Structure 1
């Protein structure tokens, strides 16, 4: 963490400069048995490609609103940081009809059609797989993102005081988001090397903070679990041990 970081994208750049090889996001889906581990470098590469897709192919620009109709997932974390990199507002669970761009998982496609702007669909299949049959009216993220550039530079500097995140009735600027993430990290004793296990959904600030932003701000990592309620106590204890969870 760098004291001068004022946006989520700044936090990721600092993490990349400090130790690109360390784990950042380890994702489990306990309904499917999927496990994905992304180092800082791998995560940042996905973010760069996604930000290039947003900025160049989808023509998103600062001031735009991107509705994220996505569950707790590693690809959702990627989209949150990609939005921060471009300088657009990530509206988690937001109204697609009020958005310039909508990004939908496979279960919210009909709802997402209310967006009159660009639409992107994520299959959320293991290994970032594509849809067997692309949904009509949507760009398939897994088809579009691989060819994007591995480095990203915004056309306009990202303003830390511009709206960056909306979730659960809360709206934060980039600077406010970073400040809150740092405060949450301090409240739970997170530091460099901390490994946080979170089973909270990405539908409110607390889930987003402990499932992404606070570990990132502290120089730690997150074990992000979807459908964690399907694990019994023994399974949860084994995960804590195998993943070297500290919080």
Structure 2
């Protein structure tokens, strides 16, 4: 049986290429494990697909975003950041890590803000607890996204030439983003588990690390807790590669 998200990934999108094959395989395989100062979080293939669908639904169905809309993603290496990125690309958005005046929507961390019309505060809590630092003009990400559907029906048509990423004014297409990811994936192998302490800076190392690992049918183990014993975690999580940026 297909997963809630599998059957409706938009042909040609970054999300289609990266997530589609995984959702047609074992849905219970872990894809992302994060260690933050607040604790450990693990997302399976199914959970990653469902959270990504919820983000895409929030952008399109509630906020009315169309392909080509600019979305600012400034949430560092929170576990929510990966489904936010995939959800944005699923809906044909142009992702930027900048505080872009053209951004229709922004996702920011606790205590941060942006110039976008709609600003969502992402707590980074390992269990997805709501943020406690939401200003009057902001919205809590968890509260907003949980009510969205676990599937994203009839996504927009996206091609390899469609814009996908804007960093410091440089626009990269879907094809260019996927080329970076495929280059990294070429050094990996199926089932690889990559332990990383590198910040998720866009475009690199985030695109190569996150998308490349997923393209290789692997698992990302992100360690952002400065007090963590990286070697011990890597051993516990059976990681064969460590990445420090």
TM over 0.5: same fold? yes
3-state DSSP class of the match of 2:211? helix
Q: How does 1:82-93 map to 2 (within 5 A)?
A: 82-92=87-97
Give the Cα–Cα distance (whole angstroms) in 1 for the partners of residues 184 and 145 of structure 2: 32
Deviation at 1:84, TM superposition (A): 0.8
User: Which of 222, 226, 239 is residue 233 of structure 2 equivalent to?
Assistant: 239
TM-superposition CA deviations, 1:110-132 (whole Å, max 9, x none): xx1x22x2222212223111124
C-alpha distance 171-246 of structure 1, shift in aligned 2 (>3 A):
farther
Give the Cα–Cα distance (whole angstroms) in 2 for the partners of residues 167 and 177 of structure 1: 12
1:37 and 2:42 aligned: yes
Deviation at 1:18, TM superposition (A): 1.8
Q: Which runs of 5+ in 2 are unaligned?
A: 1-10
Give the Cα–Cα distance (whole angstroms) in 1 for the partners of residues 208 and 35 of structure 2: 15
Deviation at 1:155, TM superposition (A): 4.6
Preserved CA contact (<8 Å) 2:58 2:145: yes
Deviation at 1:33, TM superposition (A): 4.2
TM-superposition CA deviations, 1:5-38 (whole Å, max 9, x none): 8532111011110221111000111xx2410010
Preserved CA contact (<8 Å) 2:181 2:209: no
Q: Which runs of 5+ in 1 are unaligned?
A: none
Give the Cα–Cα distance (whole angstroms) in 2 for the partners of residues 140 and 210 of structure 1: 29
Give the Cα–Cα distance (whole angstroms) in 2 for the partners of residues 168 and 200 of structure 1: 20
Preserved CA contact (<8 Å) 2:110 2:134: no
1:8 and 2:6 aligned: no
Aligned to 1:27: 34
Aligned to 1:230: 227
Q: How does 1:1-247 map to 2 (within 5 A)?
A: 6-10=12-16, 11-29=18-36, 32-92=37-97, 94-109=98-113, 112=114, 114-115=115-116, 117-132=117-132, 134-167=134-167, 170-186=170-186, 189-227=187-225, 229-231=226-228, 235-247=229-241
Give the Cα–Cα distance (whole angstroms) in 2 for the partners of residues 163 and 144 of structure 1: 26
3-state DSSP class of the match of 2:119? strand
Preserved CA contact (<8 Å) 1:7 1:175: no
C-alpha distance 192-170 of structure 1, shift in aligned 2 (>3 A):
farther
TM-score by length of 1: 0.86
Higher helix share: 1
How many residues get paired? 230
Give the Cα–Cα distance (whole angstroms) in 2 for the partners of residues 243 and 35 of structure 1: 12
Deviation at 1:237, TM superposition (A): 1.9
TM-score by length of 2: 0.87
Give the Cα–Cα distance (whole angstroms) in 2 for the partners of residues 169 and 245 of structure 1: 36
Report the aligned-residue RMSD.
1.9
